[in-house]
Structure 1
Amino acid sequence: MSSQRNGVVGLLKTRMGSQNVDSGSLIVLHCIIHQEALCAKTINFQHMTNIFVKAVNFIRSRDLNHRELQQLMADIDAENKEWKCDLAFLVDITNHLSALNLRLQGKDQLINEMFSLIKVFQIKLRLWESQIRNQNPAHFPTLKNHDTSNLQYHKYDDKLAVLREEFSERFGDLKNHSQAIEVFASPSSVDVTAISEDMQIEIIELQCNDELRKKFDDSSVYQFYKKHVLATVYPKLSAHARKFMAVFESTNVCEQLFSKMNRVKNKYRSSFTDEHLESILRIATSPIQPDIDELVSQM
């Protein structure tokens, strides 16, 4: 997607160059959901996960029921305590990462909302790292329910540190736009001295407008810019907002479209024209609910 030559970004820059449009203002971000998934892969417990995956596959292949699985786990003796604690830690951190992933997949999210979720999770990682270092698994309930006496907590501390550093590195491109995102998300409270000079006057005027500040507090960011920030009054801020509202923070929408296209254009519909496919995909992806009765009445 972000290849400088063959990806979408490269094609856009080439097109902008052919139209004599400055491509320097183009916001380039990697898919946030994919970056989060890549960060999750740094939690490496292969010595334990390989055995666990084989065990699960074996159980499924032999149709063992849940009661037999419970008996199998009960038969594991005390010398496997460390292995079980590793598994408990992996379960907990996977649950935390899965919860973040689900929130990132929420519909109609703007870039500032997803950036906020990432920042919050990074703060959580620092907290968990500090607590685990002090042998406090407060936010790891599965691990907490196990016998952690004489447990080497430092290896979990190290795993969390690696994960935190991976988040910081992979979301560096997002952090580079943090100031501009703050202007977009919080124009009524942003520090005027810290922002671009070409928007300072407009931001001051907005912050001194009590009615506009109230409307910002009472509406979503999208509705605020759509209804209340007029391009004739705030041309710089309006253009800034349109740019960040247009950011594709994830490829999730594109992937959903491809999935729908694969379901529509199958081997039994190979004679579809591009025009038919485009029309069907437009209907399949539109949030507008059709009034079937009205459509039938016009036939």
Structure 2
Amino acid sequence: MAKAKKPHSIGETLIKPCLVSCAGILLGESAVSKMKQVSLSNDTVKSRIFDMSCNTKSQLLAKVKASPVFAIQLDESVDVANLSQLIVFVRYVHDQSIEEDLLFCRPLETTTQAADVMQLVEVTQFLEQRNKGDLKAAVSDEVFQCRLAFLADMFSHLNELNRKLQGVDSDIIGHRDKVNAFVSKLELWRGKFETGRSATVFPTLARISETASGVSDVLKNEVIIHLNRLLDEFQHYFPDFKSDNPMMVDNFPKEAEDIEEQFLDLVHDSAAKAVFAEKSLNAFWATMHGSYPRVAVAALTLLVAFPSTYLCESAFSSMVEIKTKSRNRLIDLESDLRCTISKVEPNIEALVKAKQMQKSH
């Protein structure tokens, strides 16, 4: 029920009646009486979900404590009851790989006032725009259409980059490479636009400009200015991405001479080269922790960092499905959320041994 993000009450109202009916058809009345003794009440289901959540959390904390390095990421959002929920994820090294999981979810005492303000501003701007009498004329203007077409193409490229930066099992070095590639593309597109070779890069603009009077010099200058500003923004938000690869031996701290020597031992290790060819970057360095601990820790410190907010965003999507309008009194989401998204499986056998059979009242 927790994995399916369903209300706890369906255990008693839906699942148990189905089980009783199936038991009667397949196994007879003796099985029906036994099935009726199984407790699936709202409180029982909530208690079992809490137990499984505690069990998986204990396993997770043990893994994090055993990890040579770890990183945390946190974000907050407002649920359907206007209650701020803080979500924290942890990324750590375990079993020769880098893993990530939900650390905890806690309700906050205050609401997200900034989000409320932004919603008010957006509505106000929309109403002001609807009251403008020249809106239709602006949309029909050829220059406006070309500007809109360019923005459509540009956001298409940005969305493609955003998709590449999403997903699990990624690392900050891979994201660094993707961002650097996009910055190089911006420089290429700027050059193509200046020389009139941008049709393949901005197809919507090319199509609209064919029906219009072409791309004017004014619009061309606006596009070039916009691309220059995008380049400035990327360089502002990612100032270190153009620097040398942080994994180069020359970039290790000068006082850490033993790391440099250990790194050179690794470079000339034929067995390590074979492992590198077979495994991902994260798995390779997690594997090397036993043989080359100091170099591996230096590498894992970079790789264990969260490259994006994808996990938090996914968790908030699950939170919306769990806490609906019909369940708006649900305050503590951690147990349900952990059972929904955690990669750590609860130890059911240990949980069952700790419990005694309870008859339904």
- Retained in 2: the 8 A contact 1:29–1:249? no
Question: Which among 153, 158, 175 is matched to residue 241 of structure 2?
Answer: 175
Partner amino acid, structure 2, of 1:159 = H
Partner amino acid, structure 2, of 1:230 = H
Worse-matched range after superposition: 216-225 or 117-126: 216-225
TM-score by length of 1: 0.60
1:36-85 per-residue CA deviation (whole Å, 9 max, x = no partner) reads xxxxxxxxxxxxxx9xx96xxxxxxxxxxxxxxxxx9xxx6xxx433322
Question: Which among 295, 314, 325 is matched to residue 256 of structure 1?
Answer: 314
User: What does 1:1-299 align with in structure 2 at a 5 Å threshold?
Assistant: 80-137=141-198, 138-145=200-207, 146-147=209-210, 149=214, 151-152=216-217, 153-172=220-239, 174-175=240-241, 179=244, 182-183=246-247, 190=248, 192-197=249-254, 198=256, 199-227=259-287, 229-231=288-290, 233-266=291-324, 268-269=326-327, 274=332, 277-287=333-343
Q: CA 1:248–1:194 in structure 2 vs 1: closer, same or farther (change >3 Å)?
A: closer
* Whole-Å separation in 1 of the counterparts to 2:195 and 2:330: 63
* Whole-Å separation in 1 of the counterparts to 2:168 and 2:179: 16
Q: CA 1:165–1:272 in structure 2 vs 1: closer, same or farther (change >3 Å)?
A: closer
Q: Determine the structure 1 residue equivalent to 2:11.
A: none
* Whole-Å separation in 2 of the counterparts to 1:105 and 1:162: 24
* Whole-Å separation in 2 of the counterparts to 1:27 and 1:288: 18
Deviation at 1:206, TM superposition (A): 1.2
* Whole-Å separation in 2 of the counterparts to 1:234 and 1:218: 18
How many equivalent pairs are there? 216
1:102-141 per-residue CA deviation (whole Å, 9 max, x = no partner) reads 1111222111111111111101011111111222214111
Worse-matched range after superposition: 281-290 or 152-161: 281-290
Deviation at 1:194, TM superposition (A): 4.2
- Retained in 2: the 8 A contact 1:110–1:245? yes
Deviation at 1:236, TM superposition (A): 1.6
* Whole-Å separation in 1 of the counterparts to 2:71 and 2:306: 9
Partner amino acid, structure 2, of 1:111 = I
**Aligned partner of residue 175 in structure 1, secondary structure:** coil
Higher strand share: 2
Deviation at 1:267, TM superposition (A): 5.8
Q: Which runs of 4+ in 1 moved over 6 A?
A: 25-31
Deviation at 1:167, TM superposition (A): 0.6
**Aligned partner of residue 227 in structure 2, secondary structure:** helix
Partner amino acid, structure 2, of 1:286 = S
Deviation at 1:28, TM superposition (A): 10
- Retained in 2: the 8 A contact 1:92–1:143? yes
**Structure 1: where are the runs of 5+ without partners?**
1-24, 32-49, 55-71, 184-189
* Whole-Å separation in 1 of the counterparts to 2:74 and 2:344: 29
Deviation at 1:166, TM superposition (A): 0.6
Deviation at 1:269, TM superposition (A): 4.4
- Retained in 1: the 8 A contact 2:167–2:310? no
- Retained in 1: the 8 A contact 2:183–2:234? yes
Partner amino acid, structure 2, of 1:167 = F
Partner amino acid, structure 2, of 1:206 = L
Q: Percent identity?
A: 29
Partner amino acid, structure 1, of 2:171 = L
Deviation at 1:255, TM superposition (A): 3.2
**Structure 2: where are the runs of 5+ without partners?**
1-68, 76-125, 131-135
Deviation at 1:268, TM superposition (A): 4.6
